[in-house]
Chains A and B, each alone.
Chain A
Amino acid sequence: MSAAHPDKEGRWAWRLTGFVTLCVYIFMFAPIIATIVLSFNSSMFGGFPMTGFSLQWYGKLLENEQVLAAFRTSLWIALVTALVTTALGVVTAFALVRFEFPGKQTLSTLVILPALVPETILGVGLLVLIKAVDQPRTLLLLVLGHILLAMPYVVLIVQARMVGIRRVYEEAALSLGASRSASFREITLPLLIPAVVAGALLAFTISFDNTSASLFWRPAGVETMPTQILSMLKISISPEINALGTVMILVTVGIPLIGGLILQGFTRLRRRNKPRRNDNENVEHQAA
């Protein structure tokens, strides 16, 4: 595009744009890199300067029962959230894209609201509701809350892809005698897979990462990973937190990256192995 900026003014503007972009990227990643580097610091304190290389804080972390328990809790909650949100989100997106029904517009707006309403408000609201009907805070409530928070993203991602899949493919299957569920399973779902995987991964990270709402919703005595980190931070910035942060970064960045790579390899493999089943493949190309 720099070809489109042949005048002097344009060249300077372009250089400035590049420079600001670079600064923004540094701004985005410098603190994260600092945390990772400091997790290997041998110093007793969680800050600079570096006094030597050490893995002792990772060892300490593995012995910390509270942290391990919080990690397990968060992992389970995130897995359940990802599964349920994806299943419900796909079905909802299907209905919102393929069907015309009264109240559809209201419903599509309502579905994205949890992403726009501040978590503090959602958090307080649910607490007030269960207080009004005299129910305790339970793990189930926390999981359902996470599902609510992740739902907008899953529905939007699946919807965006569903719009690109023409309904004639499903209708062809139906006219050839496939049942409603069979046509969904055999035609719609395979074409949706990239969006389904992306949605599930996002739902997982949203749940695993959720802090503000979890502070309100968690049952007494239950800590998720982020609330555990918050309560550790109240005491001090120990090097152990840096190690914990680094592990979390590796997990939450690693899982989607590996998932994406597997997905890419999988589609490539499928295309190579089944060049003959071109009806299915053509559909995919057109949809993509």
Chain B
Amino acid sequence: MTKGWTLYDSRLAWTLVAPVLLLLVFFLVLPIAVMAVYTFFTFVTAGVEATTLTLANWQEFFTDSYYHGFLFKTLRVGAVTALICGVLGYFPAYFIWATTFKHKWLLLLLLIVPFWISFTIRTFSWIHILGEQGIINVTLLKLGLIHEPLQMLYTEGAVIMGLLHFLLPYMILNVYVSLESIDRTLIAAARSMGCTSAQAFREVTLPLSLPGLGAGLLLCFVLAAGSYVTPQLLGSGRDALFGNLIYDTIMGQLNWPMGATLSIVLFVVLGCFAAVYTRYMGMSQIVKGLSG
């Protein structure tokens, strides 16, 4: 032990966390702070901006309905995705929790495997299902049910499908973790007091699993609303989301002040949702969900 230091000295703690703290400051806190300042810079021409402070970027954002449309669509797609995830994800989570199947771990492992498979590959593999040469169109054409391939790819539906595919494991694991923490004797008690199984589910299991469902919904919503690759690969130009707009503004038009403004908007909007959530539910459920 270092001389003069107590066993759990806070100075030692700060030394231990210093590298990570520096990383967080320089790669997370400072970038967002500098970005906030950039929103007040003046755009001169592609890639060039003046440090003259202006409200022009904010004015443009607040008055141009082009941006409002993007924001609204992004929030809508995020909400729809999160809700479908919640409904579809609850069943497998409940099944895995309640099953007497001996190899339950296998079902859980199969949920974790998608996390290991490249997100890009998982996304583009949908082209083989929904595309003109995809399995659905090829089968339907062979059967003679349709005469022209259906346009399923490059639609908003395809984007939501891709997002569901990416987010369902998050949702299922979140709900599962929260189901696991339920004391099973409570359900047996409810049943022995004369509840039907539906009542027992509605009155005991469902309310107790709501924290996990809530954390899953928030996580799915935030991740869907912030997505970039999925709309890029599975959507047409019309299905671009806010993330794509930011990317195009910065990498395409090289309009850094506007790109920074849009990023801060997305950050604040999603941050508000997360803040409302943590205000009522606390952070711990998200932590549980993320660490599986």
Contacts and interface: CB of A to CB of B under 8 A. Distances in A.
A20 B23 contact: no
B237 interface: no
B280 interface: no
Contact of B168 (A28, A99, A118): A28
A185 to B, nearest CB: 14
Contacts of B225: 118
Interface residues of B, number: 104
A174 B168 contact: no
A287 interface: no
A189 interface: no
Contact of A245 (B88, B115, B124, B270): B124
Interface string A245-261: 10011001100100000
Contacts of A245: 118, 121, 124-125
Instruction: State the majority secondary structure of interface residues on B.
Output: helix
Contact of A226 (B100, B120, B142, B188): B120
A65 B14 CA distance: 46
B121 A253 contact: no
B222 to A, nearest CB: 6
Nearest to B98: A1
Contact of A211 (B97, B229, B283): B229
B243 A38 contact: no
Interface string A217-259: 0000000011001100100010001100100110011001000
A237 B127 contact: yes
Given A18-B95, A128-B38, A211-B119, A34 B135 contact: yes
Interface stretch (A52-60, A109-117, A275-283): A109-117
Contacts of A4: 98, 187-188, 191, 197
Given A4-B191, A34-B135, A110 B197 contact: no
A11 to B, nearest CB: 9
B216 interface: no
A128 B34 contact: yes
Contacts of A127: 250
B196 A47 contact: no
B131 interface: yes
B290 interface: yes
A207 to B, nearest CB: 11
Contacts of A252: 116-118
Contacts of A229: 118, 120-121, 124
Contacts of A102: 10
B145 interface: no
A157 to B, nearest CB: 5
B124 A237 contact: yes
B196 A122 contact: no
A99 B266 contact: no
A165 to B, nearest CB: 15
A171 B227 CA distance: 46
B35 interface: yes
A237 B191 CA distance: 55
Interface residues of A, number: 106
Contacts of B133: 45-48
A114 to B, nearest CB: 6
A116 B27 contact: no
A120 B226 contact: yes
Contact of A32 (B23, B34, B117, B250): B117
B7 A174 contact: yes
Contacts of A10: 196-198
Interface stretch (B52-60, B65-73, B206-214, B255-263): B255-263
Contacts of B23: 88, 144, 147-148, 151
B86 interface: no
Contacts of A95: 12-13, 16-17
B287 A225 contact: no
B110 interface: yes
A103 to B, nearest CB: 9
A91 interface: yes
B30 interface: yes
Interface of B: 1-2, 7-10, 12-14, 16-17, 19-21, 23-24, 26-32, 34-35, 38, 88-89, 91-92, 94-100, 110-111, 113-122, 124-129, 131-135, 138, 142, 164-165, 168-169, 172, 187-188, 191, 196-198, 201, 219, 222-223, 225-229, 232-233, 242-243, 246-247, 250-251, 256, 259-260, 263, 266-267, 270, 274, 283, 286-287, 290-292
Q: Which 4 pairs show the lowest CB-CB distances between chains A and B?
A: A118-B226, A47-B133, A125-B31, A10-B197
15 contacts: A1-B100, A4-B197, A20-B91, A20-B95, A27-B164, A32-B114, A109-B283, A110-B28, A116-B274, A120-B228, A148-B27, A171-B7, A202-B115, A245-B118, A245-B125
